[in-house]
């Protein structure tokens, strides 16, 4: 009876390392959500300040900090891409008031029926609200608009982390797609006196 020669120790380690490297799943790469293609909203202000009153809790049931692109970051990027200061003594203040996403577990179908049905595991509710304030040089409020968007989504049980992250990314995209036209329209109508172009 012939026996195979034992593998050299260094070669065995190399083979195990190669197997470990190929078995590890690659993290998904999500592109930054940008708005430069939408064109600038040029304001009759000297500066545009971008801030966030919203502070993530980093605790259940809040999950916005787990998103590949959190709604807060996308909203701040919107302001950087779209709001442009033309000059003068006024100041524009863009504030992210809330950018919260809450996860709620869902109860599955029990009994025999549950064996033949894929249940929804969780529901996500995202709320994004922003404000734009125009201030005079002395600090008086000269104009103000706000906009809000909400999105909800359920996920089936058994989704992978990559699938869940793709759903979260899509939620942020949808929130911003809802918010962008509403916010621009509000600025161009209710703050028309402060819009250069």
Q: What is the pLDDT of residues 166-196, one digit of tens each?
A: 999 999 999 999 999 999 999 999 999 999 9
- Name the packing angle between helices 161-190 and 71-82 (round to 10°): 40
Sheet containing 120-135: which strands, arranged edge to edge? Answer: 47-52, 91-105, 120-135, 141-156
pLDDT at 164 over 70: yes
What average pLDDT does the segment 132-148 reach? Answer: 96
Note the pLDDT of residue 29: 81
Q: Is residue 115 classed exposed, middle or buried when 0-12, 13-18 and 19+ CB atoms within 10 A define those classes?
A: exposed
How far is residue 170's CA from residue 124's CA, in Å, rounded to a whole number?
A: 12
- Under the banding of pLDDT at 50, 70 and 90, the label for residue 137 is very high
- Under the banding of pLDDT at 50, 70 and 90, the label for residue 12 is very low
Assess contact for 165 and 30: CB atoms under 8 A.
yes
How far is residue 108's CA from residue 192's CA, in Å, rounded to a whole number?
A: 51
Note the pLDDT of residue 120: 83
The domains of the chain, with CATH numbers, are: 34-107+114-194 (3.30.160)
pLDDT at 109 over 50: no
pLDDT at 17 over 50: no
Please give the share of the chain, as a percent, with pLDDT higher than 70.
81
With a CB cutoff of 8 Å and minimum separation 6, the contacts of 128 are 71, 75, 96, 98, 99, 148, 149, 150, 175, 176, 179
SS3 content of the chain, % helix, strand, coil (to 5): 35, 30, 35
């Amino acid at each position: 009876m012939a026996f195979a020669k034992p593998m050299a120790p260094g070669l065995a380690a190399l083979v195990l390392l190669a197997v470990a490297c190929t078995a590890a799943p690659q993290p998904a790469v999500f592109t930054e959500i940008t708005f430069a293609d939408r064109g600038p909203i040029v304001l009759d202000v000297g500066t545009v300040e971008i801030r966030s009153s919203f502070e993530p809790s980093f605790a259940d049931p809040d999950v916005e900090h787990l998103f590949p692109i959190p709604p807060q970051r996308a909203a701040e990027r919107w302001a950087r891409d779209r709001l442009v200061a033309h000059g003068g003594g006024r100041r524009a203040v863009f504030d992210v008031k809330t950018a919260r996403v809450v996860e709620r577990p869902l109860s599955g179908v029990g009994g025999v029926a549950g064996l033949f049905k894929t249940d929804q595991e969780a529901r996500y509710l995202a709320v994004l609200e922003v404000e734009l304030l125009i201030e005079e040089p002395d600090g008086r409020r000269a104009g103000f608009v706000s906009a809000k968007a909400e999105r909800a989504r359920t996920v089936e049980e058994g989704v992978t982390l990559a699938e869940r992250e793709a759903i979260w990314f899509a939620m942020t995209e949808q929130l911003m797609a809802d918010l962008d036209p509403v916010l621009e329209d509000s600025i161009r109508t209710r703050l028309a006196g402060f819009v250069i172009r």
